[in-house]
Structure 1
């Protein structure tokens, strides 16, 4: 594979992966304006974010078997078209209930992109390079929290929050064009796969019973869930508690994303000397310590705006190390059914994230304590689950650095 081809493959797969995050981050600065327009409050608007996450989780399970049976591109075309139509409907929403409903449908469309991109990494690149490729995808995804909230803030302050969704529809149309013209067909469809409920459920159960799958899926999901808490809780923390305007909030959100994207890229360098398993083990410990300090400090009232930003920065940096390694370790044992495995991983991760966002929307306290406590709980769960499962299942895991061993599993 030439460098040019490698670059464009990573870029397109990255934009597919980034579609969901852009759909989240770009409309966050518009929460107060949307609340006013829809006659509700900011926590009420946050329920549309929960609806989006629930749609992502449900859609993951839908697309996994479709991607394995019909190939990667056909289901992807359908998903992107659904996303474009739903985005326009979001711009036309006249009530909170309508917004929540069409955000759910928008998520169903966007998750085709996320599932397909993960499966295609497994299809197109050697297994021992997957963690590095996922880190590169995070480099593209990292443009979302750096650019999207800032753009969303200016769009909201200018033509209005409705135009955020029009811009998202245009982005999806451009991605659809790139997929059709540039992205190769990476997988031979398996027509023997049945779409009847029983075989689908059996396929998911087969994947789920793999010790490596459930260990790193739940470890990665709970470690990542703190990010969901931050995303859903940050508009209230920065704009209502610290009284920042939508533009300033966008810039702070962009600045904090440097932690996530910077750590994911540093991870590629660290992988030259350490394994994915070693990186996860150390980073989970650091994330737990950071979250405990944040929770205790928030409860004691010792953190001002600057202190809160520092703690969030450290926490997000840990997520940047954990996530690409967790994905690579989760998918390492699978090749033929990588679509099913990636969709189940995504469903579990987003399902846990949905619960976290719903939980955050229920808190009415005018402080950073709820955010800090939820982030602490998710980090400790990730650490505890990893600690226990690795010891119970010792010797049953496949290393992503051993491509031969991975192939032998099949």
Structure 2
């Protein structure tokens, strides 16, 4: 449009100022002069066309430069956005109310209400590198729960390094209640160590492989979330010697492997059979606490509508070079506890989840979790624990109501290398998660 306007103006100007108009009035202009005027007019038009093309080229260059600059700005903004830490911060605060039948003073007080835990969680990723960490504060200790970085090579393959859950048995928990199963207290449920690992999920399979260098505290501290080996001993009276390093030992260089298949039987039933294996070394820096150990498990998780069933058989043994060893010492929750050198265990847990709409209450989960540790070395008596309870979910609140009955069970008035009576504990744990 601009080109046509310039051309019309140029012709008008040329015609208006040339002698051609005079020829129309007088009729005596020569043909030669007319041709010269027309030639000059043609040249002016061509010059104007040239200027127009140059102007158009300059405009095109400006538009291209602006487009390139806008693209560069967009890429820079995208890169800056990707570089921003995408980390979610969460946590929880929890309290316990407890009444135990073997605590007469506590029963006279009507039970005890105590602070349980305050924790902070950090989860997210920075430049495709995944981060997950959790620190916990108790009245008597502050400890790391987990802290790892990971990377997803594909949708099916992920690797992680740091302090993470050892892939063994029913995951993430072989229980539904606040007290876990008896396997937790011998380091075979919800246990966290320091190492590297991978998770591979082709189709309906899940494979986990991890090399755990050592536990999260290096085997030298009783203040830990996980139940970790800190030593061994000959009889219960000398168990405290392990703290002084007289007969110390810790697990190192553990290889853990786990496989599970997700079998959808129908629209309502899903079965997840699996197997797990751990094998590692025992290292005693100041004693004869060297050797090796293993643990193996076969497990099954079944989901049918609102029902959840967990079954597991476990076998383990610690083989120390010291022939006088009778039991292992575990450190966790700022205490020293004992466990057998070898044993077998069965866990059987059943839960039913009922959705409700009672104000903020959205679901009720009813459960019964049973644990039995038997066939211990040195003819130690069996350990059992049965937990019947209900978990209530209401907004950010998650509350456990548990009746725990156990024999030779830590935190239920017993020891795994003892021969005590059965005890019952009623416990309410109220947690606000954010």
Greater per-residue strand proportion: 2
Greater per-residue helix proportion: 1
TM-score (norm 2): 0.22
Tell which has more relative contact order, 1 or 2 (C-alpha 8 A, sep 6+). Answer: 1
Structure of larger gyration radius: 2
